[in-house]
Structure 1
Amino acid sequence: MGTKIKTHKGTKKRFRLSAKGKAMHRQSGTSHLAKGLSKKRRRNLRGTTAVAECMEPTIHAALNGHSY
């Protein structure tokens, strides 16, 4: 029997998989210095968004198909 594939812990902290299997992430630019952004920009940066399709296979491999 082969060795188990370990989950990449950095990826686990930054991404999660949606119910349909899309990789979701928090949008950048909101942690500090947001006062300089317009209210509209800050509002639109709330929540999560889907990762680019070209990055999804890499994230799926790092998470081994699990959603955390």
Structure 2
Amino acid sequence: MPREIHWTDAEEIGIQLQETYPDTDPLTVRFTDLHRMVTELPGFADDPTKSNESRLEAIQMAWHEEFQDAQG
């Protein structure tokens, strides 16, 4: 069973999003789509209504770092 993740686990979520969507540039993802992508991750165990713009931005930036690392 995957480890439980919450909105505050931006780095872990970024890693999982990179693994799940390796060809997606995170900076092209709208926050509404990012919200859905996060809540669909295995192990997501937080209240979907507890996200906000700053949390989504932190997740997007963590994912972007992982994306850049993967690009070489």
State if a TM-score over 0.5 links the two structures.
no
Greater per-residue helix proportion: 2
Q: Which has the larger radius of gyration?
A: 1
Greater per-residue strand proportion: 1
TM-score by length of 1: 0.31
